[in-house]
A and B are shown apart, each in its own frame.
Chain A
């Protein structure tokens, strides 16, 4: 009986491990059921009413209404951490993973844009001193499929490292903390970009390429390991 239980336990553990690719020591910050622990930014220029929902255990971001994106933010703020998540992004739709985000979505950003700059480091409404490109991404990237991101961020002056599919893309030590109000912690954010204004004849260029109609960005296995 004892042997049977042990075998059962090993099977259960290994089976769970097969489905759960979250690295050891990380705690889930998305429960796969609903958006408890998350909220929508009501002051983002991307939009304030994005379509954020849970489908098949993943957070799915879409524009809503037409042309209006937005940002889903973790309720909790993090300072030193490693974030793990898996993303599946439709092409010709621009999004991002926000790090130490403020309530309006001012943040260090890992770009999500296919084809294009996925894995780049720059700012959302923030002038980032030192940016980065994930030039080695094409060797590991799986188009139209799930890809994992692991991001380590530490320090009052941010030190950021990105791995895509567990291959290191870049490591950046910022020369200064770029946050204008001096924040050294902030929220995790997931963005869908705006692609149209509220009315016609106000924009100076066409933004429709920022989010192809009906496009979605999906995120699953979102977990964090807080560091000292």
Chain B
């Protein structure tokens, strides 16, 4: 009995320690209170565009009585255009694991680092604790200043914005197709009149919150003025890419794939941070 007990104890200890080591690897909280989740290296298909097109309803049979107002020939034209414009996408490879913020950077965290709060949705504009709402009305250049200060404070760590590929890979969390509307509504703060406290909706499969909705998120890449990213991002440009849509968005653009760009409205534009792994 005693021997059995010690076995159980040893096994429990090993499990506990391995769990602790794994947990240390998997999540990290810095001195500013920013929580990160480790994302493994991997690859996914980016920019696959296969727009659905309508077919005539079998019941009505008569094109002139279709609810969408399509006339004879319109269905054929829709199919032709949808097939002509379709794109296979390309494989984006994330060579190295990285840590990404489990939440959007909050107003409280911005204040701690920068000593200011540029956000519109604070004070009487929100019904609850604005410090836990995402910071907004930050330009890409403002975010670079935040990151420079954060890197100074947290010695030995390298913080930066995610690349667009890293962001979309983390947002998809293994999903190969774009996100269905019902799932967007579960996970995204959309169709609202202000930002919300971060982390209130369902996380994605990798435990990340508000990847869609709440605030648009800046990424590292310059904008290519196309519907989706290219396999190689432009080396220069006038605007940077925004991902994930905001509380003003809806099921059309609060998706993994949406490839938007600045300046946006300002008051619904924020970001989350990547911390590089020490590999």
Contact = CB atoms under 8 A, between A and B. Distances in A.
B273 interface: no
Most buried by A among B50, B51, B78, B178: B51
Interface in A115-130: 125, 127
A125 B120 CA distance: 18
A25 interface: no
Contacts of A125: 248-250
Given A91-B69, A106-B248, A181-B120, A66 B84 contact: yes
Report the contact-size class of chain A (Cβ under 8 Å from the partner). Answer: 35 or more
Nearest to B255: A198
Contact of B70 (A49, A180, A212): A212
B70 A208 contact: yes
B179 interface: yes
Given A48-B227, A198-B255, A212 B49 contact: no
B54 interface: yes
Interface residues of chain B: helix, strand, loop or mixed (majority): loop
Interface residues of B, number: 55
A127 B193 contact: yes
A184 interface: no
A125 B180 CA distance: 20
B51 A67 contact: yes
B242 interface: yes
Which 7 pairs show the lowest CB-CB distances between chains A and B? A209-B68, A92-B69, A65-B85, A45-B253, A42-B261, A208-B54, A196-B51
30 contacts: A42-B223, A42-B261, A42-B262, A43-B261, A46-B252, A49-B226, A49-B227, A64-B85, A65-B49, A66-B53, A66-B78, A67-B51, A92-B68, A103-B264, A103-B265, A104-B246, A104-B248, A127-B193, A196-B52, A196-B53, A196-B82, A198-B49, A198-B50, A199-B49, A199-B51, A200-B50, A202-B178, A202-B181, A212-B70, A214-B77
